[in-house]
Structure 1
Amino acid sequence: MEFPAVFLVGYLMLSCFAASCYGVTFSSLHKTLIVSASSPLGHVLKAGEDELTIKWEFNQTFPPGTDSTYKTVKLKLCYAPESQKDRPWRKTVDDLKKDKTCQHTIVARPYNPSNNSFIWKVERDIPSAKFFVRVYAYDGQEVVVAYGQNTDHSKTFDLFTIHAITGRHASIDVASVCFSFFSVGSLAAFFYMERRKGKISQHK
């Protein structure tokens, strides 16, 4: 028994709608990109000051044409398991629409299979935590189709620590001292003028 064409079209549309509702899962992606992240300062960096060099390329052990749909890549800063513990707002979820592992976008670039490098100055608003770098590959519809990361599957190898900005800058301290002196001086001048006015009134 053959189904009318209208039912076939409806079935295909329903399938596409279901797929879009469920979204892309991380477990469905192939790790086709080789990623490294390094710094001359080692694995401990300061937010707002230090730099991280990120390199990525297509893994040539995969068959030619595997990356034919790759159009862009996005470099993401991701929380390591140690910095996700007891923090549900950083929770790892297989559905990438709900996943909170990689909340910080470092940069987006057109896809190129080799010789990719980017020097990232750690942004000032990055919190203190342990991180790794993940690179997602997207197709022409902005759908994630592959990935790579600078750590292993369990996310315990080659991690780096970022220390957030916590103290005040010296310029702020200097400004505070100057303002304090100015305030004290203004208060003293006010009392002097008031006292002088009082003496003048008494003489009259």
Structure 2
Amino acid sequence: MAATGLLLGLILVLGCFSEIGVALISFSSLQTTLAVTASHPQRLLRAGEDKITVRWGLNQSLPAGTDSAYKTIKVQLCYAPISQVDRAWRKTEDHLSKDKTCQFKIVKRPYTTGNQTLEWTIERDVPTATYFVRAYALDANDHEVAYGQNTDAKKTTNLFEIQAISGRHVSLDIASVCFSVFSIVSLMGFFFVEKRKGRKAQQ
């Protein structure tokens, strides 16, 4: 029993240290070393239909070796401040484990030197809001060590709007129209048949 209690205590202690380690990763401590751009055909985009072309890479003005610890790149779609007002579930926190700014994954892949490009179709579950794109560089422990974004530090430039799916679909609308037409034709046919039956009965 004593050994079991000691083991459980050790697990709890290690868990606490793990949580502390995660909490220590703060956004303000990250270096801004990545250059990120996001291009799209228009300012207002539609979820599930439109695409965003995202480009990222190490800022070329930085010295060689700056990215020596980078192992993975993680690119995310993030809420702009205007779409975070009075929405606690989108709140920005300095501790990355609590931060809710970037909730939509665009891509996560091994880091490679040189500029990278990805054409991303906006996911169907993305809600209506104003957004920007951010990329994180992760180390061998999968911890964020640097970042870059397609907007300024105050997140006010190069923003874009996404319109969520309304819940209606073109195919459903077409089916609804066809059904309505079929119903009307069927009703007219019914009255025509009944009218002919009535005439025959009178004869």
TM-score over 0.5 (shorter chain): yes
User: Which residue number in structure 2 is paired with residue 52 of structure 1?
Assistant: 52
Alpha-carbon offset, residue 110 of structure 1? 1.2
The TM-score, its normalising length taken from structure 1, stands at 0.78
Alpha-carbon offset, residue 186 of structure 1? 8.4
Residue identity in the other structure for 1:28: S
Residue identity in the other structure for 2:61: T
Note if contact 2:22-2:97 (Cα within 8 Å) is conserved in structure 1. Answer: no
How high is the sequence identity, in percent, across the aligned residues?
A: 55
Equivalents in 2 of 1:167, 1:19: separation in Å? Answer: 42
The TM-score, its normalising length taken from structure 2, stands at 0.78
Which stretch has the larger CA shift, 104-113 or 91-100? 104-113
Pair 148,125 (structure 1): closer, same or farther in 2 beyond 3 Å: same
User: Which residue number in structure 1 is paired with residue 160 of structure 2?
Assistant: 160
User: Which residue number in structure 2 is paired with residue 25 of structure 1?
Assistant: 26
Residue identity in the other structure for 1:95: H
Quote the RMSD (CA, aligned, Å). 3.1
Deviations 1:45-103 (A, max 9, x none): 11111111110110132232221110110110000000000111000000001000000
Mapping 1:138-157, distance limit 5 Å? 138-157=138-157
User: Which residue number in structure 1 is paired with residue 82 of structure 2?
Assistant: 82
Q: Secondary structure at the match of 1:48?
A: coil
User: Which residue number in structure 1 is paired with residue 69 of structure 2?
Assistant: 69
Note if contact 2:58-2:115 (Cα within 8 Å) is conserved in structure 1. Answer: no
Count of matched residue pairs: 190
Equivalents in 2 of 1:97, 1:171: separation in Å? Answer: 41
Alpha-carbon offset, residue 184 of structure 1? 7.6
Equivalents in 2 of 1:78, 1:141: separation in Å? Answer: 23
Which residues of structure 1 form unaligned runs of 5+? 1-12, 191-204
User: Which residue number in structure 2 is paired with residue 35 of structure 1?
Assistant: 36
Residue identity in the other structure for 1:126: V
Equivalents in 1 of 2:165, 2:71: separation in Å? Answer: 36
Pair 21,160 (structure 1): closer, same or farther in 2 beyond 3 Å: closer
Which stretch has the larger CA shift, 94-103 or 59-68? 59-68
Equivalents in 1 of 2:22, 2:163: separation in Å? Answer: 38
Equivalents in 2 of 1:157, 1:170: separation in Å? Answer: 34
Residue identity in the other structure for 1:113: T
Which residues of structure 2 form unaligned runs of 5+? 1-13, 191-203
Alpha-carbon offset, residue 19 of structure 1? 4.7
Alpha-carbon offset, residue 141 of structure 1? 1.1
User: Which residue number in structure 2 is paired with residue 201 of structure 1?
Assistant: none
